Amino acid sequence: MLLMAKSSNESGLRLHVFLARLGLGSRREIEALIEAHKVQVNGRRATLGQKIQPEVDRVRLKGKEVYVPRSPRKSTVLAFHKPRGVLSTKSDPERRTMIMDFLPRSFRSLYPVGRLDLNSEGLILLTNDGELALRLTHPRYEVAKIYEVKIRGNLTDKKIKHLERGVLVENEKYKPAEILSVHDVTKFGVKKYAVVIKVFEGKNHHVRKLFEALACHVIRLKRISMGSINLKGVPRGEYRVVSDSKIRKLREELGLQEEASSQHAG
């Protein structure tokens, strides 16, 4: 255990980033919980800035185990259609409406993967599979996410080429995006476009910042797919239980073939 703790502090993923990716709060909220001694790693009190190895470390939040590496239990994944105005986290001190309010009690132990802004809508995955959640959100795996976006502003061919080459946002180069379709929906002389865009990373306010860097304002944003899981047939505010075969396919796409075959055998 001592060796494990030492390894976690030297390399790996920062704890507050990891827990935020599991939908347990914003990075600042997680940092506050760590400072309040509400987080443990391998039975020891966590510290600010601590790094963990998700493949081996066990994490508890407020006394509850939130992540067990290589859990032997069967993977469960829900595809939830988040409405606008609903938080994509599991808890909120202001008691605003959250995605968990739409789920039956039997699914409330699942964790959301890939947060959406309060004013965005669309696909949120929820799962008990920690490794799957990590790989879906880690930049290294470049999981494709497709969004339907309505923007206000002049989206020229030159700007589209910028998106496809990679846009500089706040002195950081974002990875190239794919523009799948563009439709001019201008009304009353105000330039508006309906765009379908595919991105391969998931930074905070990612798609909004891409268009803002090109002087275009996002007025509506809806995520319709993550990896091979899409939102087709799921009404707003409802969910679909993802089949074992689709979970297996998703795990294989993310390099989890061995675990997929053992977890779903029989």
Q: Residues with catalytic annotation?
A: 117
Q: Of 214, 226, 216, 196, which Cα lies nearest the Cα of 82?
A: 226
If we measure between CA atoms, which residue out of 141, 87, 146, 140 comes closest to residue 112? 87
Nearest to 158 by CA among 215, 205, 203: 215
Question: Is 33 in contact with 89 (CB distance < 8 Å)?
Answer: no
Q: At residue 178, what are phi and psi to the nearest 5 degrees?
A: -110, 130
The owner of tokens 């500089």 is 168
Q: Give the phi and the psi of residue 151 in degrees, each rounded to 5.
A: -125, 155
Q: What is the DSSP letter of 192?
A: E
Identity (one letter) of the amino acid at 239?
A: Y
How many other C-beta atoms lie within 10 A of the C-beta of residue 57? 22
Closest to 208 measured CA to CA, from 131, 135, 143, 119: 119
